[in-house]
Structure 1
Amino acid sequence: MVRVTLHEVAQEAGVSDSTVSRALRGLDKVDEGTRERVRLAAERLHFSISRNASSLASGKTMRVSVLFADKLNTWFDSSVLQGVYEVLFREQYDIIPNTVSTYGQLQSFFDRLPADNNVDAVIVTSINLEPGQTKVLERLTIPTVGLDSRTIDGFDASVLLNDRKGMHEAVSLLQRFGHRRIAFVGQPAPGEFKFSSQLRGTAFVQEARLAGYGDQQIFRFDTGKIADYRTYDEAVNAAAAQVLSLAPMPTAICVETDDFAVPLMASLRHYGIRIPEDLSIIGFDDANIAAAADLTTIHQNPEDMSRTAAHKTLALMRGEILEERHTMIEPILMLRGSTARYVPKAAR
C-alpha cells in the first residue's frame, strides 16, 4: 500500500505543506476553518502525522499523568479514569495512570517529575499532600490539578466535593426523621494516606453539634487501617460489633462510603438488626452498588468531576487563564429504603 504524504494532504486541502504540519500538530496561528479543512482532508486520505514527530516539534509530550493512591479498580478511581479519558483523548493526549501506596513512593514521584520531563500536566486524585509536597508542586513548570483533594494548596486548579454539605444533608435528614442517637462509621484506611473521604467523620460531628445534638447523642466509630484485619469481611464485622456493643445502640448511622455501608448492612442484618426499622443507614458516594442495595446515600459523580478537572488541565496547558481555578461540587441526597422515621420500641 502506498503511503500518503503530507504534501498530498496539502494539495487536497489547498494549503501549504507547513500549514498542514502546524494544523495537525495543534500549533497556534492556524485559524479553525483551515484547521478543520486540513483535518477532513487528512481523514479522507487516511493520513496521520507521527505523534513522536509532533511532540518533538511542539515541545509537548502529549501525555498527562493521573496520580492515584493504591488501586485503580475502585468505583471512584475507575470513574475518574473514564472521565479524564473522554476529554483528553479527543485532544490526542495519552493518559498515564500512576499509583502510589506510601508517602515515600509519593515523594519519589514528585522528586522525579522535574527531571523526567515526560508529561505535560499532572492530575492528583484524592491524596492529601504534605506541606513539603505542595511546595514541590508550586515549583513545577507544568500544570497541576487536584481532584477530590483535601486542600487547594499547591495546585494550579482543583475540583473538590463539598463533603461538609453532604454531611449537613445527612444529619438534617436524620433529625427530621426523629433520630436522637446518631453515629458515623469510618471505613478502614487503605494505607498511609489521608483521603478526602476521611474528612466526612469530622464534618458529621460538626454538623450534628450545629443541629443541636449533644456529645452524648453523637458517636464516631473508628475502624483503623485495612492492614489491621486479615480480610475485608473481618473489618466489616468489627465495625458491626462496635455499633452493636453501644448501649443503647444508635438509631441511625452514616457510613463513610457505600462500599463499606452495603456489607455493613448485611452484617448487621445477620445479627438480627432490621433496616430501617431498628437502624437507619446512610452511605456516601452513590456508587453503582447503592441503588441495588436500596441504600440512602449522598450522591457524587466522579466522571463529571474528572471531566471538569481535565478541561481545566487542557486550558492550563494551552496557557489560558481560568475563570474559576477552584471548583466546589455540591453533593445531592438520594433518599432510598435504608432510612425511616424513628419509632420507639414501645410504639412498634
Structure 2
Amino acid sequence: MARTTIDDVAKEAGVSVSTVSRALRGLDKVNPQTRLRVEEAAARLHFSFSKTASSLASGKTMRVAVLLPNEISDWFNANAFEGVYEVLSKEGYDVVPYVMWSEQDLDRFFQTLPGTQNVDAIIVTSFDLDDDKKRVLSELTLPVIGINTPTNDGLDASAAIDDVEAMRAVVRLLHSLGHASVAYVEQPANPSPFVCSDSVRLQGFLDAVDELGYDDDQVMTIPSMRGKDARDMQTAISDLAAQLLSAPSKPTGICVESDRCAVLLRKELDRLGWKIPDEVSLVGFDGDNLGDLAELTTVRQDPVAIGRAAALKALALMKGEALDEPYSVMPTSLVMRSTTARVAPR
C-alpha cells in the first residue's frame, strides 16, 4: 500500500498543500473550520507529520529536558517524571530524562546546550543550579521550571511543597505529644553532590525548636555524608542509631529527612531494643510506599501531581503565555501512624 502524502490530505480536504502544512503544525492564519477539516482528513487517511520536519519548520524541537539528581528510579524522581510525561507527551513532546550523578554530568549538559539548543524547555528536579548555569539559561531564553527546588532563583516557574513549613509541623506535633528532647536526622548516605530540596528541611526543624523554646541540650542534629564521602547505607544507618543511643540526652522524638531512611532506622532501632513508639517516636518525610508498609508517621507529598503542575507551566511558557501563578506551593499532609505516641508520664 502506498504511503499517504501531504498532497493526498490536501486533495481530501480541498485545500492547498501549504494550508495543510500550516494547519497541522498549529500555525496562525488558518481558519478554525479549515483547520478542523484538514485534521479530520489527516485522521481519515492516517497521515501524520514527521516530528523532525515539523520541528524544523516551526523552530521548535518538541523536546523537553528533565534534569534529575541521582537515579531515575528514586521514588520521588520516578513519580515526578511520570507526572511531567503524562502532560507533555499528550501534547506531542518528547520528554528526555538527564540523570546528574555528578557535577561533571551537569557541566557536560550545559557545555553542549548553547550550541545545540535541542530542547524547548528545561525542568529541574529537586536541586539548585549555580549562578553560572542560571546565567547560561537566561541568555538562551529557555523556559526553566523547577520541581521541588530549594529556591526559585533563576527559575521562570516552579511547583514545590513548602519543606520548611512541613518540617515545622512535624516538630510541633512532637512537642504537642510531650517530647522534651528531639533530634533531626539527615539521610546518612547521600551520593548527590548537589544542594537538594530535602536539605532545607533542617531549617524548618531548627526554626521550630527555637520557636517552641527547646534548649540546646534538648536538640540533636545528625548531618548527612554527601557525594564521594557517602558511606554504604546499612553501615551509615548502624552508625546513626549508635549516635542516637549514646547521646547524653537521648531524644524521645526523631524527625528523619526521608521515609526510606526512617524505615531503615526503625528496623535498626528495633534490633537494638529501642521500642517504637513506647520509648521514642519516629517521623519520616515524603509519603513513600515504604512508609505505608512500615506504618510510619510521615509528611505526605504527591510527586505525580507536582510533576503535572510543573509540566503545565512549562507548556504555557513554551506557548508564550503568561502565568497567573508562576510559583505554586503544593499541598502536604501530616499522616499519623503507629510510630508516634504521646510521652508516657513518669
TM-score tier (shorter) = over 0.9
Residue 111 of structure 2 corresponds to which residue in structure 1?
Answer: 111
Counterparts of 1:57 and 1:195, CA distance in 2: 38
* CA distance in 2: counterparts of 1:238 and 1:33, whole angstroms: 69
Q: Which residue of 2 aligns with 1:320?
A: 321
User: How far has the Cα of 1:287 moved from its partner?
Assistant: 1.0
Give the match for residue 342 of structure 1: 343
What are the ranges of 5 or more consecutive residues in structure 2 without an aligned counterpart? none
RMSD across aligned positions (CA): 1.8
Map residues 182-221 of structure 1 onto 2, 5 A cutoff. Answer: 182-187=182-187, 188-221=189-222
- Paired residues for 1:223-242 under 5 Å: 223-225=224-226, 227-228=228-229, 230-242=231-243
CA distance in 1, matches of 2:287, 2:108: 34
Shift in alpha-carbon separation, 1:223–1:141, aligned structure 2, 3 A: closer
Aligned-partner Cα distance in 2 for 1:128–1:165: 19
Equivalent in the alignment of 1:62 = 62
Greater shift in the superposed pair: 36-45 or 289-298: 36-45
Amino acid at match of 1:105: D
2:191 touches 2:230 (CA, 8 Å); kept in 1? no
Deviations, residues 105-160 of structure 1 (Å, cap 9, x unaligned):
32332232111111111111111222222222222222111211111111111222
Instruction: Give the % identical residues.
Output: 46
Following the alignment from structure 2 to structure 1, what is the Cα–Cα distance between the partners of residues 118 and 314? 16
* Paired residues for 1:260-275 under 5 Å: 260-275=261-276
Deviations 1:149-205 (A, max 9, x none): 111111111222201111121011111111111111000332321111011112111
Query: How far apart are 1:90 and its partner, in Å?
Result: 0.7
Conserved 8 A contact 1:165-1:330? no
Structure 1 residues 109 and 342 mapped into 2: Cα distance closer, same or farther (>3 Å)? same
Aligned to 1:9: 9
**1:233-272 deviation line (CA, Å, top 9, x unaligned):** 1111111111111133111101000011111110110101
Q: TM-score, normalised by structure 2?
A: 0.94
SS at match of 1:259: helix
Instruction: Report the AA paired with residue 85 of structure 1.
Output: Y
Residues 271-329 of structure 1 show CA distances to partners (whole Å, capped at 9, x for unaligned) of 01111111111100001111111011111111111111111111111111111111122
* C-alpha separation in 2, matches of 1:84 and 1:31: 32
Question: Where do 1:88-127 residues align within 5 Å?
Answer: 88-127=88-127
CA 1:31–1:125 in 2, change beyond 3 Å: closer, same or farther?
Answer: farther
Aligned 1:234-313 pairs, distance under 5 A: 234-313=235-314
Instruction: State whether residues 138 and 155 of structure 1, in contact with CA within 8 Å, keep that contact through their aligned partners in structure 2.
Output: no
Secondary structure of the residue aligned to 2:255 is strand
Q: CA deviation at 1:80?
A: 1.5
User: Structure 1 length as normaliser, TM-score?
Assistant: 0.93
**1:42 equivalent in structure 2:** 42
Q: Which residue in 2 is equivalent to 1:166?
A: 166
Question: How far does residue 36 in structure 1 lie from its aligned partner after superposition?
Answer: 4.3
How many residues of Structure 1 are paired with residues of Structure 2 in the alignment?
A: 345
Indicate if the aligned counterparts of 2:217 and 2:249 stay in contact, CA closer than 8 A.
no
| Deviation (angstroms), 1:15 | 4.1
Residue 39 of structure 1, CA deviation: 3.0
Q: Quick check: 2:225–2:231 contact (8 Å CA) kept in 1?
A: no
